[in-house]
Structure 1
Amino acid sequence: MQTPLKIAIVGSGLVGSLLAIYLKRAGHTVHVYDRSPDIRTIKFSGRSINLAMSHRGWRALDEVGLGDQIREIAMPMDKRAIHTVGQPLNYLYYGKDGENIYSISRGVLNRKMVSLAEAEGAEFFFNTRVWDVTMATATLHTGETEQGTWDDRKYDMVFGADGAFSRVRHRMQRQNMFNYSQEFLNTGYKELNIPANPDGSHKLDKNSFHIWPRRDFMLIAMPNLDGSFTCTLFMPFEGEHSFEALKDKETLEAFFAKYFPSTTDVIPNLVEDFFKNPTSSLVTMKCYPWTYEDKVALIGDACHAIVPFYGHGMNAGFEDITILNQLMGQYGDDWKTIFEEYQKSRKPNADAIAELSYRNFMEMSSDTADASFLLRKKIEKRFSEKYPDKWLPLYSRVTFSFRPYSEALALGDHQKAIMDEVMATEGIFERWDSPEVEAKMLELLQK
């Protein structure tokens, strides 16, 4: 138990709500501010990508005894289902038997997390806009408008958990020696929906992450408990195959009939959803430092927003909390050291998962439809099962372990170089499971 402090968290999203629970458990008074209404009172906006909870996220929940409650609203997915035009459905398993990622509706989880944080004693202030922070005194300045009268709300400490366009970070950016960058993809996304069958069952395999890879664009679908799937269409904003080009009902229906023919019967509200739901952008944001003295700290997307193609935005944010909590246990009331060690530990790993997420767009949209890629995965899986101490595939190292993201990036690059040589072996499609290929991998690993 630490000396109790009065702590403000700006942002009532997933990371802010879970952080509130951890800080309450440590004995602090916690107030959570959000400019939006209480998410439990509104319909979710139709701009969501389902979450993919994996080991890092579950660890953060399990350590405060909440994992089992969240598993009740999650759907296990043990494989990718690859939908290519004119070819049979192909399944690509993620890891070993029993290793799953879990699909969770962002809205459902966020509502649950807010309620759990309230049950712990955290106090929420919705519809409250934070316009500025006086960092030296951990004082929030709130008000109806940016130019109007502000209220001063003094705290011992402030956490900015207010997302990629964080108001707390905006204040920190005005410091000397604060580094900041953001990069938008020219690819955006739009939410679509596959409803349940009349009997409540799923129209597609419910334990798969469904992907329709089409190189420059792709469609994904993740299962929900009610029998539906949340679909996300990723496309360039402009160009031949783009959101800009899909301007009317006829063009949209023709496009889906040509490139996603297997969805014709399962997305009955395609036209309505497409033109109703917003087209959203994707951004990678990096900054440093993440903290100011022992007064202010950024966490989650506020300091490391990433694109969603590895499914680790939430998992990385939850892992921030895990590491912060470990440091709180180690350093007690020395918050200056806690904050310094927290940012030094997390920054390289945040940068690594950002890079991995960016790269994974190509794997999902293009490589999963490629026979060489599928063989590469098969070889890696077989070798890993035989030599688990010598080879852990990159995806498993990121998703089914707690090893640092930075380590996964470095070792993944090393393994890719090895597999590039293996795939260049003459007759690899016929000889992929031969002793010669196995010996070559062992030899390359020793080098």
Structure 2
Amino acid sequence: MQTPKKIAIVGSGLVGSLLAIYLRNRGHVVDVYDRRPDIRKVEFSGRSINLAMSPRGWRALEAVGIDEEIKKIAIPMDKRAIHTPDKPMYYQYYGKEGEAIYSISRGVLNRRMIDLAEAAGARFIFNSKVWDVSLSEATVQVGESEKGEWTPNKYDLVFGADGAFSRVRHKMQRQSMFNYSQHFLDVGYKELTIPKNDDGTHKLNKNSLHIWPRGNFMFIALPNLDGSFTCTLFLPFKGENSFEVLNSEAKVASFFKEFFPDVVDVIPNLVEDFFKNPTSFLVTTKCYPWTYKDKVALIGDAAHAIVPFYGQGMNAGFEDITVLNDLMNLHNDDWSQIFKSYQEARKPNADAIATLSYRNFMEMSNKTADENFILRKKIEAWFYDKHPELWVPLYTRVTFSERSYAEALEFGDFQKEIMDEVMGLEGIEEDWKNEEVEQFILNKLKEKEHLV
């Protein structure tokens, strides 16, 4: 049992709220600060991408007994539904039977998580702007404006869970030997909504993540409990087909009619919503160290914001908490060792999922509709079914296992080398489900001496 501490969490998002539950369950006094108003009392902003909960996330929720409560607001998706211009819509199943990711509205989940954290005894302090943190004293400075008067609030520990543009991290960056980078994609995103049918049902298959791949841009749709779909258009900021070009109602209408004609049929206020909703950026941030002595630690996006194309941002943040909790069990009151081990364990994995997420944009926007890519995935699934002890496909390893992201990246690169050779075999398109192909992969695995 840890000695109770007075702990501040900056940020009431998903990671901050879940961390509050974990810390309260250990008997700590927890205050959660957020510069925004209480999300439960305002309409959500319209700049969201629905979340995809996978086993890493569920494990973190299960450990504090809230997984079943959250499943009530989630919809399982066991497949991709691919919408291409030149063929009927078709499905690509994610994994084996029973394997699914779960679509959850970010706003709905965040509200529920705050409720659960409050029920656990955490105190939420909204409309409270943290402008500075004294790292050595774990004191947060709160005030109305950056140049106004601040009120110091002293704690034993401070966690920065305040997102990609973290104020806590900003203070840590002023230290010497602190490494930080951010990289913006030249692709942005805009949220749209497919409303429910008049009878409350979904207009599209509700157990699928719908993708309209179009090369360097794409449209996706994830289901909501109320029968609607939260949709996201990912599009370059500049260029031939870009947000820069879509600057009039006529151009937007023409663009969707050309590239997403079936979307036009299911979004009645498409053009109006396009201009009403903001265009948002996608950023990857990396930094190190994540902690300061035994006083301050970054967690979730504050430590490692990633682009959303593997659906692992929330799951990675929740896994941070799982690892942190395991280390609290191991080291008890030795917070210096807890923080040191935490950042050493998580940093390589955060970097790995950042790389994988960036790569997956090309897969989702371009390759999902490519015949060679589809064949490659069929061969991998076939070999995985025959030799699960030797081969786990990259997507399965990332999404449906709890093995490390760093390991997934390493094995994924190794498997890609093998599959590149397999796809070069003569006649592979016509005949691949045979002993010759199976033995070829087995020999390649043996050569490399790589086993799962």
Q: State the TM-score, normalizing by the size of structure 1.
A: 1.00
| Structure 1 segment 315-354 matched on structure 2, within 5 A | 315-354=315-354
Root-mean-square deviation (CA), in Å?
Answer: 0.5
**3-state DSSP of counterpart to 2:326:** helix
Separation in structure 1 between the aligned mates of residue 328 and residue 356 of structure 2, nearest angstrom? 29
* 1:123-174 alpha-carbon deviations (Å, 9 max, x no partner): 0000000000011110000000111110000000000000000000000000
CA–CA separation in structure 2 for the residues paired with 1:149 and 1:252: 47
Given that residues 193 and 269 in structure 1 are in contact (C-alpha distance below 8 angstroms), is that contact kept between their aligned partners in structure 2?
A: no
Verify the 8 A CA contact 1:129 1:143 in the aligned structure 2: yes
SS in structure 2 of the partner of residue 124 of structure 1: strand
1:435 CA drift (Å) = 1.6
**Equivalent residues of 1:173, 1:180 under 8 A apart:** yes
What is the CA–CA distance in structure 2 between the aligned matches of 1:136 and 1:208, rounded to whole Å? Answer: 49
Tell me the amino acid that sits aligned with residue 319 of structure 1: E
Q: Counterpart in 2 of 1:260?
A: 260
Query: What one-letter code is carried by the residue in structure 2 that aligns with 1:19?
Result: L
Report SS of the residue matched to 2:88.
coil
Offset from partner CA, 1:4-57 (integer Å, 9 cap, x none)? 000000000000000000000011000000000000000000000000000000
Alignment partners' CA distance in 2, 1:81 and 1:421: 28
**Equivalent-residue separation in structure 1 for 2:417 and 2:217 (angstroms):** 27
Match of 1:278 in 2: 278
* Corresponding position: 1:6 with 2:6: yes
1:48 maps to which residue?
48
Match of 1:245 in 2: 245
What's the offset of the Cα at 1:313? 0.4
Offset at residue 248 of structure 1 (A): 1.1
Structure 2 segments unaligned to the other structure (5+ residues): 448-452
CA distance in 2, matches of 1:155, 1:301: 22
> Which residue identity is paired with 2:425?
T
Contact 1:431–1:437 (CA<8 Å) still a contact in 2? Answer: no
- Counterpart of 2:140, as a letter, is L
1:73-127 superposed Cα distances (whole Å, 9 cap, x missing partner) = 0000000011000201121000110000000000000000000000000000000
For 1:101 and 1:404, how far apart are their aligned partners in 2? 18
Task: Note the C-alpha offset of 1:183.
Answer: 0.3
CA distance in 2, matches of 1:272, 1:429: 45
d(CA) in 1 for partners of 2:265 and 2:370?
26
- Give the match for residue 361 of structure 1: 361
Does residue 157 of structure 2 align to residue 153 of structure 1? no
CA contact (8 A) 1:309 1:358 kept: yes
Inter-partner Cα distance in structure 1 for 2:427 and 2:234: 36
- Deviations, residues 376-410 of structure 1 (Å, cap 9, x unaligned): 00110111011100110000000000100000000
Question: Aligned AA for 2:268?
Answer: P
Structure 1: 4+ residue segments shifted above 4 A: none
Give runs of aligned pairs for residues 124-203 of structure 1, distance below 5 A. Answer: 124-203=124-203
The aligned counterpart of 2:234 is 234
Q: Secondary structure at the match of 2:438?
A: helix
2:313 counterpart residue number: 313
Q: Secondary structure at 1:37's aligned position in 2? A: coil
Question: How many angstroms apart in 1 are the aligned matches of 2:161 and 2:231?
Answer: 27
Determine the C-alpha separation between the residues in 2 that align with 1:343 and 1:248. Answer: 47
CA distance in 2, matches of 1:198, 1:332: 55
Name the CA distance, whole Å, in 1 between partners of 2:193 and 2:175. 44
**How far apart are the structure 1 equivalents of 2:222 and 2:385?**
28
Contact 1:307 1:354 in 2 (8 A): yes
User: What does residue 73 of structure 1 align with?
Assistant: 73
Equivalence for 2:450: none
Within 2, Cα distance between the matches of 1:368 and 1:169? 37
Matched residues in 1 for 2:437 and 2:205: separation?
Answer: 34
Distance (whole Å) between structure 1 residues aligned to residue 88 and residue 48 of structure 2: 29
Q: Which residue of 2 aligns with 1:225?
A: 225
Distance in 2 (CA, whole Å) between partners of 1:233 and 1:420 is 31
Secondary structure of 2:280 counterpart:
coil
Question: Any unmatched runs of 5+ in structure 1?
Answer: none
SS in structure 2 at match of 1:151 = strand
- C-alpha displacement of 1:437: 1.1
